[in-house]
Every structure is written in structure tokens, then in C-alpha cells.
Structure 1
Amino acid sequence: MHTSRLTRTAFACISLVTCLVAGRSIATAKEPAKPVFKDGEAQVVKAFEDSDYWIRHDLWVETEFDSDGDDKLDRMHVSVTRPRQTESEGLKLPVVYNSSPYFAGTGAKGDEYFWNPRQELGEDPPERKHFDAVERTGMRPIISKRHEKDWVPRGYIVVHSSSPGTGLSQGCPTVGGDNESLAPKAVIDWLCGRADGFTTPDGNEKVTADWCTGKVGMTGTSYNGTIPLAAATTGVDGLEAIIPVAPNTSYYHYYRSNGLVRHPYGYLGEDIDYLYDFIHSGNEARREYCDCTVRDQEMLTQFDRVNGDYNDFWAGRDYLNDLEPLKAAVLMAHAFNDWNVVPEHSVRIYEALKKKGVPTQAFFHQGGHGGPPPMTMMNRWFTRYLHGVENGVEKDPRAWIVREGDKQDKPTSYPDYPHPDASPVTFYLSGGAPERGSLSTQATQDAGTETLVDNFSFDGASLAQAEWTEHRLIYTTPKFKEPIHLSGTPRITIKLASSKPVANLSVWLVSLPWNNDKNAKITDNIITRGWADPQNRNSMTESEPLEPGTFYEVSFDLQPDDQVIPKGQQIGLMILSSDKDFTLHPTPGTELTIDLGGTSVSLPIVGGKEAFEKAL
């Protein structure tokens, strides 16, 4: 059948219109996905949200070190999770990176594997029992899924890696050694095109990260929060921002305190060699070498569990000593009631970074170990420094603190931490042992001495509540008629004499009366704590035995805090010797005699002495 020229022309026009309409529909449907920002924050993008369409793969990144002695550069196991658009549309995105020694499983727990705290001070400890090798867990290509749901839908790629000597990463774990800083540096170098990645741990087939913009942020909690800081201390280009949550910034400050052997809360008897065993899930073929060189020849010969002194071994695992190259923006997060990684870990770094001049903020809460900043804070931080959106985050208040009773995601902003209006107020002691003495801003003439008898079998909470006991000394302010706001780091000076050449010294600052409600937590009444070895009164690196009966002056900081003491409460300063949950447990009976006239405590009070007197 024949069609007319007009009909053919009309058909052609209709077809052309149909194609144009269809083409516009296809173009609209395939409009490239990209990150979206609102109010200075990256928003969830529907095209990035469906995890079924995420691309997952793993690889090994070659480092610049050989820590396991096999004459080959160690390679770190890395996994990547990214939106499919980074493949189908050539989209480049920044990276949120999380590294850990825990991803492939950990070793045995239990008191039988810890050091026995029942040890006489100044003597060699009894040997510790080692557990069997850690059995690696997990399946390729996924190392971990942490942070994926938070960041991939918001326009980020999430990368994980196992730290040296753990999982499928080569090398030896060193618990704070240089390779634990250089390993994440290598991964960042690979993400930025400066290091090699391979499809296998021993092969030569390379993998590139051409989907990365060259902007990387890191975050994590506890050990996983230490690694971002460790990476940042290398000054590696491309690491733009980090959010360390409850990071261990010094292994000395984790396992020692002012010359004293002290354990993290809940892990009595743990020391750095146990943590090494606990995370060592790596290559069986190099395990014997790592155990011998790292644990036995380095840790066990240098960690000084006898005296607790600071030395080169500990200095090499203190990131405060390595901050010079750091240039990443840092949002610190910590809890004032974290007695595992105590709050000084973040405060000491935060204060140093402020002086250094890098962009820095701090988030603190009143809970225990862990607890990241609210999502909106983290989002603004990464949006500004990874996506380059000028949201003014660097002009936000510098400190954010969750007040007592408030929700974790509702912090109160402050110009800084400590509160700029806080100033030290000195308190002096008046006797009252074995009951309670008094604490006031007026020094007492001829205050005399009081004596306590060490006995580790009584825990601090029991001693604080006791009406009468010889195992502690306690001094209290009057009850407050108005709240008192403490913000900063208390410092104590104690003039003491010991009946033995070595003794534990522990100090608690408590809020009384004690809350014995069934739903109460012990931290409801603990303001802060501190520990010291009187033998280290003059030096952190060298112990000097005490001459029994001779008085010595010992000064040290308690843990930083920011707390509002409510009206109706009073502040109590408690001095004891062994702290059951933290220190070694020597045979009871050591006597500490305190010269009250030579002892004082300085408390950082918002509003200073005037605010304290007004509260009374």
C-alpha cells in the first residue's frame, strides 16, 4: 500500500516529536545524582540511599614500612563502600574513613589473662598468662559496615581498614607504635593517588581510587578514635578533618598516672602487652616474630610495671609529642565520666591544638566511655572540610557540653572549654578524722595532721559514704544554697608522710549526700578523681623512695570536668591510698599521714570565689 507524501511527512514529524519527548524523559530520568546541601549540612540523597546498589570491594594498600620482618613492605587490608554513581556516572566524592584493630575479632577476656593486681609496690609482678592466638573473623570484601548508613546516603564514600597485624593486614600490632600512624597515612595516600593499592596481598595487579575527590575525613571511638589522631600527626595531605571520639591519646596516661601503675576502669590488671595480645588477629606465619620483637623484647622490657615511670617507650606512644605536622580540622568528643579513657586524653590534645591554631571544637557529655557528637555537628564538620561548603562552622561556639539531665543530642554551647569565666579557688582542710573534716577558702592555723590506713578491700564509693573509717580522710564544704558550676582541671597539693618507702595515693572529689536511689549511678556522685605515686613528686621519669616518717609535698592534676553541683549538695575531698578499681593492691597497713596545713585543693569555679561564697 502506498502513502501520500503528506502522510509520510506527518508520520515523520510525529515520530520526531515522540523521540524528542522520550529523549527529554530519559535525560530527566538519568540526570546525574550529586550531593545536596541545606542549612550547611549534607542531606540524604535518594539516589545514594539504596544499599543494594552500593558498590563494595576490597584491596591491599602498600605502606612505607616492614614491621613484621619479612623484608617486604607491609600491606593494609582496605574495604570500600560507594554509591553506584561513582562507577556509572563518574561521580567523585570525598571519603569518611574508619580504621581499627578490632574488625577481625579479638582475644580472650577475663581476669585470668590480666596481670594480678595483688602485688606489692615496687616489686616485680607475678607473670601473666597469655591466651591462645586470636582467630580471625569476617568475610571479604566487607571489613565493617560502621558509618555506612550515616554517610553514604549523604554523598560520601566509606572506607575501612584493619590496622597492622590484625585481620588480613600485614605487619605487627604495636599499640601506638609508628606503624599505626603510617598505616592510615598510606591508605589516605592511596585515596589521593600517591600510593599503590593491589587486588591481593602479594600480587601486582593495581587498584586506583579515581572516584575519590582527594578529600578524606576520619572518625571512630576509643582505639578507633586514636587512629584518626595518629594519622593526622603525620601531616598527610588530603586528611582534611577528623572526629576522634574518646580517643586514647597517650598509652602512658591510659595505663599509668603521675608515676603510678593505674588500670582503666573495668579492666583491673590490663596493661599494654595484654592489649597487644587482644588485638593480634593477623598473619599466623609472622606471629612468632611479632610476639618476640614487639611484645617480649620491647613492651615487657620497657613498660616498667614496677615503678610506673615515664620513659622513651611511653613517650613514643604519646601523641601530644607528635602534633607539630598536624593540620587537619579536629572535632574532639569525650565524656567527663569516662573512667576507661579518662577525659584528660582529649582535653590535653584540645588545649594544644587551640594553641597550634588549627580549626578545633570540643563536644563533652556527662556519660561514660564513647558517645559521638550529635549528627548535625559531625555533618557540619565534614560538610565544611570535605565538601568545601562555606557553612561557617569555624565560627560556631568552640565548646558544646551536654548538661546534667539533658539528652545527648542537645548540648549547650559555650565560648570555650574550660568556661572563660572559671577561675581557680583554693580550699583548705580542717581536721575531723575518722569522721569528716571541713573544706573552706580560709586557711586554718596549726591545722595539725591526720592519718589513714591503706586497705584496698574497701572501694571508694563505700569509703565516701562511711560515717567513720580509718581507711580514708574526707573534708567537705557546707551545703550549697545555689548551684555551683565547676569547669576545668582541679589541682591538689598534699603534704604527706608514709610509713613505707612506697605507697599509692588516690584522690576523689565527690558530691554529697550520696545518691542511693535504686536508679542512681555511681558517677552521679563522683565529680572527678586522680592518682599519683609520691615517689614521682619531683620527676615523672625517675622515682625517689620515701623516707618513712618524712613529709613530702606532692602536687598533681585531677581529671578535667565540667559539672554543675546542685543546691542542697556539698563538695567532698577524699584522700585514700589504694583505689580498689584502679590501682595495685598491696598488703593493707601502710599509713599515710597528711599535714593539713600543707594540703590544699584548687577548684575551677565559674564566677570564682565570689560565686562560691554567694552559693553558701
Structure 2
Amino acid sequence: MIKKHSVLGLFSILFLIVTSGFAQNKTVPVFENGEAQIVEGFTNPQDWIRHDLWVETNFDTDEDGKPDRMHVSVTRPKQTDTEDLKLPVIYVTSPYFAGVAADLPGVMWEVEHELGDIGKVRVHPEVTRRGERPIISNSHLRKWVPRGYIVVHSSSPGTGLSDGAPTIGGLNEALAPKTVVEWLCGKATGFTEREGNEPVTAFWSTGKVGMTGTSYNGTLPLAAATTGVEGLEAIIPIAPNTSSYHYYRSNGLVRSPGGYLGEDIDVLYDFVHSGAEDKRPGNNKRVRDTEMKNGMDRQTGDLNDFWNDRDYLNQMAPMKAALLMSHGFNDWNVMPEHSNRIYQKAKEMGLPTQLYYHQFGHGGPPPMTMMNRWFTRYLHGIENGVEKDKQAWIVRENDKTDQPTPYDAYPNPEAKNVTFYLNKGGNSLGDLTTKKNKKQKTETLVDNFNISGKEHAQASNSNNRLLYATPKLKTELHISGESEITVSLSSSKAAANLSIMLVSLPYEDDAKVLTDNIITRGWADPQNHKSLRESEPLKPGKFYDVTFKLQPDDQIIRTGQQIGLVIFSSDKEFTLHPKPGTELTVNLDKTSLTLPVVGGLEAVKIATD
């Protein structure tokens, strides 16, 4: 006879055998070499569960008396239902998912007018919302769901089926994704309908969330991270706009982003305002026609509290998320300073940080291996050592984007500042040397916005720009970091644009060397020579010293090239277009350029002597 306790023991053994076999048949994430692998059981889109919901925030930016609710869509493997599987989340949020305004005549601000004016009143287009439930977007699904992640999308406030008002960098654009992250961690309330009361929970989430996206979609992960929200473990912003001021202004100057001449913050507001039609008039009155109109200041371009409140560098103190940033050194839309300034602060704060820079334009994610290792480490908790990897990854000239060169940090730790001085002859070609030669006196240029920066660099003689160059390089020269220029100038008028290009000469049109032509560039308003917050009219004939940094770069200048400094006034592609004729006179003896050169002065001497 079998004793009772023996029977119970036998049942326990059988239960363990059965459940062990069952567990072995479960579909779970798989990792190799520190990266999440594609798992066959997660790959069939027909098996994915897709649904949408609304997460309730604690703000009411459309002022309808109810908390704004954000529209959220979820795509997850079926095993999160059938096998009670919990997975981490890749979250993407955007104001673009529901459509944008048409590119109509008069949408942009007029730029052909005198400095200090604002030109004609622009038109305000309406957005026709697109998209059907439950799908907000299909982005990132095929990349991450098969690797054992849930992908979540949401529409930003005042766009698509989300309540609220777009603010283009306002506080609600950080608090909205913060609340979605909190819902994913069980700390906020979600509902099945926009107006309903039936709750829905993220029972399938591990409470570990990562965010990514490009451009505006890359800005919002940083916005969410600056709130310090628990559960947002890692972010990968790609070409993010980290400051509206740095996007629409430059050192006191009204400056457009590349390719969007005349755009300003209110233009972008109209462009994305795809939310409820009945809420748009009220939103327009409060946000666009009051807050933005009173704060954006196209007359002076000065920095003020309106712009400071839309700068995420000022809001980073609570941030805890691990940061991997990506940007292009030749991104003249969202310029490379946007990522560098955040990277430097994150380093200073001691956050896990990596930076990936390539030599191309707007967009461009890090290699999949980098992204995979980042999210595997911080969302799945796999100890793959990514935090011990090199901190800076630079795609060298002519290399493939998935083969970056690792460096200890950015700028290159071996880079040292070298000062160059200007020698007369700039209307044709003056010398740019590390030796300061006294009594170079002054040289003058005449503003003409009709001439592009490229034409200025290519002209053998011109009274519309000044051009100075080093001798032809005998060896390669590696520049890494932010260059800085001081220009001592006087103007024939009370206001003038100041534009700078650092170029590699000869300025060629060959597509193979296109990215080598422009090393870096910058713009400034001489009226702001004392402070970005306060401009003052220039006294004709009086000299002012204007000092500012150019865009960060990491570039190897080829043997046989010359480094050329182009000084001109209005930039056809970026600045306002005042009537041609303003004269800028540059005091060469008090003007200098500082370049961050790997190897410092010794490397310059080897390359130029």
C-alpha cells in the first residue's frame, strides 16, 4: 500500500515534470553576444495583437474642463496573452502620425525684408487628419517585435485622436509621454475609449521602457527623460531638436533650419495641428496667437524665457535614462550641436552615455547592433557590458554607416585648440596662418543675399565675401570638436547678418567629396555682441567684437586640400534677406579662428610647414 504522503510526493514530481516541459515550450526572448535575437515565434505579423486605448494625463491644455487623454496603440506578440509572457516596451511618440498640413504658398514667413521687420503676415493652413484605429503607426514593428519587445505608439497632444494642444516644446509635450510610460508601469490610468470609463491595464509589460525616434520623434524621448519618470530606462534620440531657440535662431540671429527658409515655431505648430477640429480655434488663440506671438520675437531674435522654456538642456537635472544619441555632422536642418550639447551634459551628470555621429545629413540611426545592445542591456537586463564600450562612435569619411570608428569620447581627447589669424587679401584669397602678423588693418565686404555660400567659396574674386585659407596640407589634418571665431567688425547700417563657413578647398562638385566641402558653419547677430538676451543697434563705423562657436564637427581634411574661412553677411539658404548693399568692415588684426585639431599645433605645423 502506498502511503498518503508518498502519493502527494508523486503528484508533485509529475507536476514539476509537466510544468517543466510546458515552460520549455514557451516562446521567450533569446540573446546571443549581448543582443536580442529574432525569435521565430514572434515573427508572424498575423499573430501580433494590436489594440488602442487612451491614457489620461493630469493636464488640460485644450481647456475643455477634462484631463487630456493621449491616444496610444500597442503591438505585442500573441504569447503575451496565450503564455502570460511579459516583455519590455519600445515606445515611439510623434505629432506627425495623423498627418500634417499641406505645403501652401504663404505658409512660411517672408524673409526678403530689412532686419528688425517681420514681413507679410503668413497664412495658417488646416490639417486633414488621417489614419484609422487601432493603428497609429507601423514604425519599428518589424525591427523590435520579433526580437522580444512590445512596440507602443502614441500621438502627441493636439494631434490625431489625442486631446490637448500642440505647444512645440512646451511642458505638455514632455508630460504626455511621461504619463504613457507611467501607464506602462502600472502607475497611470488607461481607458478603452476616448470618452469612456472602462479601464485597461498594461498587464503584458515588464515595466521597462525604451524610447527612440528621429527628428521631432527623437526630441520627445529626451523630453520624457527630462521628467525623471520611473520605468524609462533608456532612450535613443536620432537627430533630435533639443532647443527650439537653437533650431530657429542662432546667436541672436533669426535663422531658418536648412531646407525650410522662413519656417518658425508657429509654422511648425500649424503643420502638426491635426487634433479635434472643434478644439483648434481655442488652441490657436491661446498657443499660436498669444503665447507664441508674444514670445517668438522675430524682430530681434533675442533669447528670452519663452525660448529657454523650450530648451531641454535646462531641464536635465531629473534625468536618469541611459542615453545613446545619433546625429549627422552635415545635418543643416537639426544641426549637430543639438545632440552634442545634451551628450556633454549627460556625461557631466554621470549617466550611461554614447554618441554616434556620421558624415551625412538629417536622420540616420546608429547601427542596429548598437541599438540592440543598448536596449538589451537596459530593458532586458542582460549584462552585455555596453556601458563599458567606447563613448563616441564616428563614421569616418567614405566608411559605411554601420562601421563607425570608436573613440574614448567626443571631442577626440587628443584634440587641442589652435588659433589661426587672418592676413589681408580676403576679397581674392588671404592667408590663414598660426602666426599673427601685425598691421593687417581692415578689409570690407558688401552684403548680397542673392549669392549662395557655395558661390562665395568658389569665387576667385568677390567684394561680397572675405576668404582666407591655409597652405595646401602636406598631411591629413583631423578636426574634432567645436571651432570658435571672433570677428571684429563695423557695419554701415544699424543691423547686419554675419555668416561664417569653414570649407575645404578647392570647393568641388564631385559627389564623392561633397561632404568634405563644408567643414562647419555658423551665424550670429552683431547686435548681440554683449548678450543673447539683449541686442542694441550698431553705430555705423564703430567696431564690435563678435565671438561665437561654429557647429561641432569631426572631419579629416585630406592631403592637398586647404582649410578655408569664408566671412559673409546674409546667407541665401538660412538668414533673412535684407536689401543688398550693407558694408561690413573686418579688422583683421583683432579677428581670429580657433580650431580643435587632433595633435594640436604640432600637427598643424607638420601639415602646413
Amino acid at match of 1:99: T
Distance 1:376 1:424, change over 3 A: same
Amino acid at match of 2:91: Y
1:50 aligns to what? Answer: 44
CA deviations over 1:416-466 (Å, ceiling 9, x no partner): 000000000000000103201000000011111000000000000011000
Aligned mates of 2:26, 2:497 — CA distance in 1: 65
Aligned mates of 1:25, 1:198 — CA distance in 2: 35
Choose which of 74, 78, 84 in structure 2 pairs with 1:84: 78
1:377 aligns to what? Answer: 370
8 A Cα contact 2:449 2:571, kept in partner: yes
1:134 aligned onto 2:127 = yes
Aligned mates of 1:323, 1:111 — CA distance in 2: 39
1:294 aligned onto 2:290 = no
Choose which of 544, 554, 562 in structure 2 pairs with 1:570: 562
Question: For 1:186, what is the secondary structure of its paired residue?
Answer: helix
Aligned mates of 1:423, 1:476 — CA distance in 2: 20
Aligned mates of 1:523, 1:109 — CA distance in 2: 29
Aligned mates of 1:244, 1:118 — CA distance in 2: 35
- Structure with higher Rg: it is 1
Aligned mates of 2:63, 2:366 — CA distance in 1: 40
Choose which of 533, 537, 544 in structure 2 pairs with 1:541: 533
8 A Cα contact 1:111 1:269, kept in partner: no
Percent pairwise identity: 64
2:429 aligns to what? Answer: 436
Question: For 1:418, what is the secondary structure of its paired residue?
Answer: coil
Two-structure CA RMSD over aligned residues (Å): 1.4
Aligned mates of 2:143, 2:528 — CA distance in 1: 47
Shift of 1:515: 1.4
TM, length-normalised to structure 2: 0.96
Aligned mates of 1:439, 1:32 — CA distance in 2: 68
Aligned mates of 1:306, 1:29 — CA distance in 2: 67
Choose which of 403, 410, 417 in structure 1 pairs with 2:410: 417
Question: For 1:428, what is the secondary structure of its paired residue?
Answer: strand
1:245 aligned onto 2:238 = yes
2:346 aligns to what? Answer: 353
8 A Cα contact 1:125 1:305, kept in partner: no
1:40 aligns to what? Answer: 34
2:3 aligns to what? Answer: none
8 A Cα contact 1:125 1:306, kept in partner: no
Shift of 1:516: 2.5
TM, length-normalised to structure 1: 0.95
Choose which of 62, 66, 76 in structure 2 pairs with 1:68: 62
Q: How does 1:40-439 map to 2 (within 5 A)?
A: 40-131=34-125, 133-439=126-432
Amino acid at match of 1:413: P
Aligned mates of 1:111, 1:443 — CA distance in 2: 51
Choose which of 580, 585, 588 in structure 2 pairs with 1:588: 580
Amino acid at match of 1:33: T
Shift of 1:335: 0.5
8 A Cα contact 1:460 1:579, kept in partner: yes
Amino acid at match of 1:318: D
Shift of 1:523: 3.5
8 A Cα contact 2:254 2:575, kept in partner: yes
8 A Cα contact 1:461 1:522, kept in partner: no
Choose which of 526, 533, 551 in structure 2 pairs with 1:559: 551
Distance 1:562 1:26, change over 3 A: closer
Shift of 1:118: 0.3
8 A Cα contact 1:93 1:212, kept in partner: yes
2:509 aligns to what? Answer: 516
CA deviations over 1:314-366 (Å, ceiling 9, x no partner): 00100000000000000011010000000000000000110011100000000
Shift of 1:29: 10
8 A Cα contact 2:516 2:557, kept in partner: no
Question: For 1:112, what is the secondary structure of its paired residue?
Answer: coil
Shift of 1:522: 4.7
Choose which of 593, 602, 609 in structure 2 pairs with 1:610: 602
Shift of 1:129: 1.5
Question: For 2:146, what is the secondary structure of its paired residue?
Answer: helix
8 A Cα contact 2:110 2:118, kept in partner: no
8 A Cα contact 1:503 1:590, kept in partner: yes
Amino acid at match of 1:505: L
Aligned mates of 2:22, 2:377 — CA distance in 1: 30
1:7 aligns to what? Answer: none
Aligned residues: 593
Question: For 2:106, what is the secondary structure of its paired residue?
Answer: helix
Shift of 1:25: 13
Aligned mates of 2:30, 2:262 — CA distance in 1: 50
Amino acid at match of 1:32: K
